Structure formats: C-alpha cells, structure tokens
Copies of this chain bind each other. A is one copy, B any other.
Amino acid sequence: MTTNRQVLIASLPSGRLQPSDYELHTADVPALEDGQVRCRTIALTIGAGQRAGLQGSASYAGAPVTGVVMNGTGLATVEESRSNRFAPGDLVVGPTGWQEYSVHEPAALRRVDPPADPALHLGLLGTNGLTAYFGLLEVGKPKAGETVVVSAAAGSVGHMVGQIAKVQDCRVVGVAGSDAKCNLLVDEFGFDAAINYKDPDFRSAFKAATPDRIDVYFDNTGGEVLGSALFRMNTHGRIVCCGVVSQYDTANPEPGPRGVPGLLVNNRVRMEGFLVFDFEDRYDEARRQLTDWANSGAVRPRVTEFNGLESAPEAFVALLSGQTVGTTIVRL
C-alpha cells in the first residue's frame, strides 16, 4: 500500500496564519469502495477565502477543526476507479485537499480535457475565473464606458475581473498592495490605472484615478478600500461583494464601513454578495467565453507557482500577505 503525504490543520490561527499552523503527516492511502475513485494530486490551488474557513462560524463552509487534512481544490489524475464514470488516466478537478492521494464519490469530480495544466484548469477555468466572470458580469453589470474598480486587483479573481472589464470597454482601476503589482496591472493586464492602498496618499490618488467616480466596485477586500469606494460611488452604482480578504487573517475583524447604509441610500447604491456556486448551471457558457478571450489574448491569466506539497502552508501565508500574483498554485 502506497503511503499518502498530507498537510493537516495543526492549530486554528489566533492571529495571522503561520506555516506552523499546519503539519506534515503520512497516512495510508484509503482503500477504494465500490463506486469510488482514487486520485493522485497534480496541483492544488489556494484561495484567500480559505482563510475565512479557519475563522469558525464566520464562513459559509461551517466551523473548522484541527487534525484533519486541509481542504482545497486540486487537479488530479485518476489512478484507480471502481466507478464506471471514470477510468485510470482521466484528468479531473475536485476537492482533493492538501494531500497526494484522495478517494471520492464520482459526483465530487469534474473531468477536464488535457493538457494537465494547473493554470488552465485551476485558474482561468477554475473557481477564480468563474467568480470573476459571474461576479462582474451578472452582479456588477458594467456598461461600456463605465468605471470599474477592483480591489486585491492583482489577485486570482481581481486580475481576471479587470481584464474582463476591459473587454466590456470599461475604464478599469485596480487597487493593490505594492507598486510592483500596480505596475503589473497597468503594463501586463491593461488596467487604465492602479493604486497602492498602502500609499499614504491613497485617498487622494484613488480620487484622482476615478475622475468620473465609480459605477461598479468589485470588492475582494472589505475594510478601508471598501470604505473609500463607498464615498466615490456614482448614483445607481453597484458594489459586488466577493470577498473580505482584509478581514480574514485576523482574530479581530473590524467594524463595517461607516458609509453603510447612509451612502447607499443617498446614492441609490446596490451592494450585493454572491457565491459563484449559485451560477453552476452556467459554468459551461462561462468557460467557453473565458477560453475564447484567452485564445484571442484579450484575457491573460497569471499564476504564482510553488513546488511540493510541503510548500502549501508557506504558499498560503505568502498569498495572505500579498506576496503572490494571480492564482496561487502548488505543484506536487
């Protein structure tokens, strides 16, 4: 029996997440039961939202526990199958968790076409790309010529949101946490402007970058950037609430933004939370469109890769501290 290297949640973070909140563990690969499929993980994707899952009841995913394999989505190959729906060698995406081998009911897996490219299946066509697509187009509903602002703009969802907004002929402004990221947003991803929220002059720079105010604010962060955006919204503006990364890596989330609800009333602003899973019946349509845009060069997905299962905790910490760009991927 092959052994299965895993990364377990060792402790629930009381402040900022540390690599030491995880531990490497070796277990047996579980036996297959009738109807099940065993997968070998090729690569994992890590998203900031997973940090919320370690905050207890704050997340939609339920309360976290220790001593279990860290959850996560992976690209994998089917090694052995006792289901007629999958055969050895099939390429799949599923909830592999942070481990080398995992066993699944077929319904948990989605077959994908070769090549076995994590950037494609976990980035562009994965949850990140779909989240950007549906959040921007279906919740934000941008119109040509409008100003779209996105926070955590160099992140997995943010860099896609900005590029999709450019396809819609919007003016696109990104907010990110370093000058290097801001340069990347403008030079590589075609944003019209990008602002570093750590800049002491952030508020005036933000104002200068949004001379026609904001029609759609795609919020990945909450916190101060949301607070600033609320004061720049146009009448009938839309705020897409996608994530709250500014409040994940802490035990003491801040109070909400001062402009809620007063500024929502004055400017008739719609602020709407969404989860991509609600659009599941339209994933195929979105994947076709994202593929077309990527093939034409209109959208250029980016990944930051880490190597080896044991690098997953450090990859997660790097992501949360803003050290990564695009989709964060751990290759096994």
Contact = CB atoms under 8 A, between A and B. Distances in A.
Interface of A: 52, 58-60, 219, 222, 226, 239, 241-244, 247, 253, 255-275, 278
Contacts of A52: 262
A261 B219 contact: yes
Contact of A255 (B255, B274, B278): B255
Contacts of A241: 261, 264-265
Instruction: Report, nearest first, the 10 A-B pairs whose CB atoms are least far apart.
Output: A264-B273, A256-B256, A265-B273, A256-B260, A255-B255, A241-B261, A60-B266, A270-B272, A241-B264, A271-B271
Contacts of A261: 219, 222, 226, 239, 241, 244, 256, 271, 273
Nearest to A255: B255
A29 to B, nearest CB: 34
A213 to B, nearest CB: 15
Nearest to A233: B273
A238 to B, nearest CB: 9
A268 B58 CA distance: 14
B265 A271 contact: no
A258 B256 contact: yes
B260 A265 contact: no
Nearest to A269: B273
10 contacts: A52-B262, A60-B265, A244-B265, A253-B258, A255-B256, A255-B258, A261-B273, A265-B273, A267-B273, A270-B270
Contacts of A272: 264, 268-272
A236 B1 CA distance: 47
Given A255-B258, A257-B260, A261-B244, A273 B266 contact: yes
Contact of A242 (B253, B257, B258, B265): B265
Contacts of A268: 272-275, 278
A141 to B, nearest CB: 13
A244 B60 CA distance: 28
A277 B50 CA distance: 42
Contacts of A273: 261, 263-270
A266 B59 contact: yes
B258 A262 contact: no
A219 B262 CA distance: 11
B260 A260 contact: yes
Contact of A257 (B58, B60, B256, B266): B256
Contact of A253 (B253, B262, B275): B262
A158 to B, nearest CB: 15
Contacts of A257: 255-256, 260
Contacts of A58: 262, 266
Contacts of A278: 268
B275 A271 contact: no
A270 B268 CA distance: 13
Given A256-B258, A257-B260, A266-B273, 15 more contacts: A52-B262, A60-B265, A60-B266, A60-B267, A226-B261, A241-B261, A244-B262, A255-B255, A255-B256, A255-B257, A260-B271, A261-B271, A268-B278, A270-B271, A271-B271
